[in-house]
């Protein structure tokens, strides 16, 4: 695949997967039901991730006080104002959804699936917040409907994970992904990765692409590291200890990643979006979703780059073994 012939983009977009699976356009509705995570609770001496704001990555924190039904209804109304019809996946995004008791998640999934036009759920979580009880729940629902899990892996570099204060290792992420796939062969599984980390090398990016390629996952979501107010990263930024990369440099790193990742891996998005502009400290280019997205596409086209261009399957499998030792 050099360019996706239908979508006309040089990568394999997740919208293609949704179209194949559901036969029409599908939107993810982010909801906030969790209120905390292991880091915020200080488990095992963990601290809040250095980039995370008070809202725990929630897209719409103003809706956090609303019921799950109201959150879904409000997002559905907003989308349907622009479209005649659509189908929705309810995305349990904020904080760590699986940190609460499984029985609570069970009832939240049931509520989500009972709303109009909802065709499945997506559970965002960390690689160290899984259990047999969770797998039982996901197995039960994935036999009836579409269920996806997104793991916040963020990096396969142990030093970067320590710097971000993630509180889990790359080996832990790899083990969680393998265990999930063994237990739930039909589950749709994805990972989040951050690019634009300090002192990030090209080899680190190639390694991340090769590991992602060899793992039994279906999709990847890419974020640039941006600085939000009232975060440890904002303090580092103010002290001159962290500088976000330029849009041009970020586009180069995304391109490098995509060139080395397997062509069949679906890609959710190419950069993060700061939806609350007043909370964004830097870089300012991350406030303009479509402009930065278009810039990355143009960068890839200018360099005749496309997903999987330099993908080599046999290297990937060796790399995973090295990291997960």
For binding to ligand SF4 (CB under 6 A), which residues are involved? Answer: 37, 39-40, 48-49, 52, 56-57, 95-96, 126
Q: What is the DSSP string of 258-316?
A: HHHS-TTSEE--SS---S-GGGEEE-GGGG-HHHHHHHHHHHHHHTT--TTTT--HHHH
Least separation in angstroms between residue 159's CB and ligand SF4 is 17
The answer to whether 60 and 32 are in contact (CB under 8 A) is yes
Task: Tell me how many degrees the CA angle 203-126-268 measures, rounded to the nearest 5.
Answer: 60
CB atoms < 10 A from the CB of 54, how many? 13
Least separation in angstroms between residue 154's CB and ligand SF4 is 8
Joined tokens for residue 313: 């399957």
- Cβ-based neighbours of 23, under 8 Å, separated by 6 or more: none
Least separation in angstroms between residue 39's CB and ligand SF4 is 4
Least separation in angstroms between residue 101's CB and ligand SF4 is 18
Q: Which is nearer to ligand SF4, 110 or 162 (CB)?
A: 162
Q: Which is nearer to ligand SF4, 96 or 286 (CB)?
A: 96
Q: Which is nearer to ligand SF4, 194 or 300 (CB)?
A: 194
Least separation in angstroms between residue 161's CB and ligand SF4 is 11
Joined tokens for residue 201: 């090398």
Least separation in angstroms between residue 232's CB and ligand SF4 is 10
Cα(265)–Cα(136) distance, integer angstroms? 26
Least separation in angstroms between residue 267's CB and ligand SF4 is 21
Task: Give how far Cα 51 sits from Cα of 27, 262, 291, Å.
Answer: 26, 28, 23
Type and span of the H or E element at 250: helix 247-260
Q: Which is nearer to ligand SF4, 139 or 165 (CB)?
A: 165
Q: Which is nearer to ligand SF4, 32 or 271 (CB)?
A: 32
The answer to whether 307 and 263 are in contact (CB under 8 A) is yes
The answer to whether 122 and 150 are in contact (CB under 8 A) is yes
Type and span of the H or E element at 88: strand 87-92
Q: Which is nearer to ligand SF4, 17 or 28 (CB)?
A: 28
Q: Which is nearer to ligand SF4, 96 or 155 (CB)?
A: 96
Q: Which is nearer to ligand SF4, 13 or 127 (CB)?
A: 127
Q: Which is nearer to ligand SF4, 56 or 190 (CB)?
A: 56
Residue 131, classed as helix, strand or coil, is coil
**Tokens 């001496």 sit at which residue?**
45
Least separation in angstroms between residue 179's CB and ligand SF4 is 19
The answer to whether 88 and 76 are in contact (CB under 8 A) is yes
């Amino acid at each position: 695949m050099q360019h996706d012939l239908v979508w006309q983009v040089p990568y394999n977009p997740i919208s293609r997967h949704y179209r194949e699976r559901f036969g029409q356009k599908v939107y993810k509705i982010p909801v906030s039901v969790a209120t905390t995570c292991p880091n915020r609770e200080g488990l095992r001496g963990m601290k809040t991730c250095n980039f995370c704001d008070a809202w725990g990555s929630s897209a719409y924190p103003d809706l956090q006080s609303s019921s799950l039904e109201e959150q879904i209804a409000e997002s559905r109304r907003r989308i349907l104002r622009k479209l005649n019809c659509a189908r929705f996946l309810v995305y349990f995004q904020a904080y760590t959804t699986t940190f609460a008791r499984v029985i609570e998640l069970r009832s939240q999934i049931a509520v989500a699936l009972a709303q109009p036009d909802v065709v499945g759920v997506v559970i965002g979580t960390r690689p160290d917040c899984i259990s047999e009880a969770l797998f039982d729940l996901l197995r039960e629902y994935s036999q009836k409907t579409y269920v996806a899990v997104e793991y916040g892996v963020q990096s396969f570099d142990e030093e970067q994970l320590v710097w971000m204060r993630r509180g889990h290792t790359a080996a832990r992420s790899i083990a969680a992904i393998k265990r999930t796939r063994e237990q739930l062969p039909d589950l749709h599984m994805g990972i989040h990765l951050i690019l634009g980390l300090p002192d990030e090398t090209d080899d680190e990016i190639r390694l991340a692409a090769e590991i992602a390629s060899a793992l039994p996952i279906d999709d990847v979501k890419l974020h640039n590291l941006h600085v939000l107010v009232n975060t440890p990263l904002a303090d580092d930024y103010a002290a001159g200890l962290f500088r976000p990369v330029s849009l041009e440099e970020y586009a180069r790193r995304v391109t490098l990643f995509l060139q080395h990742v397997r062509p069949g891996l679906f890609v959710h998005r190419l950069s993060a979006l700061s939806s609350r502009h007043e909370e964004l400290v830097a870089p300012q280019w991350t406030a303009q979703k479509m402009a930065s997205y278009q810039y990355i596409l143009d960068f890839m086209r200018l360099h005749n780059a496309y997903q999987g261009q330099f993908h080599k399957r046999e290297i990937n499998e060796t790399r995973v073994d090295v990291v997960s030792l």
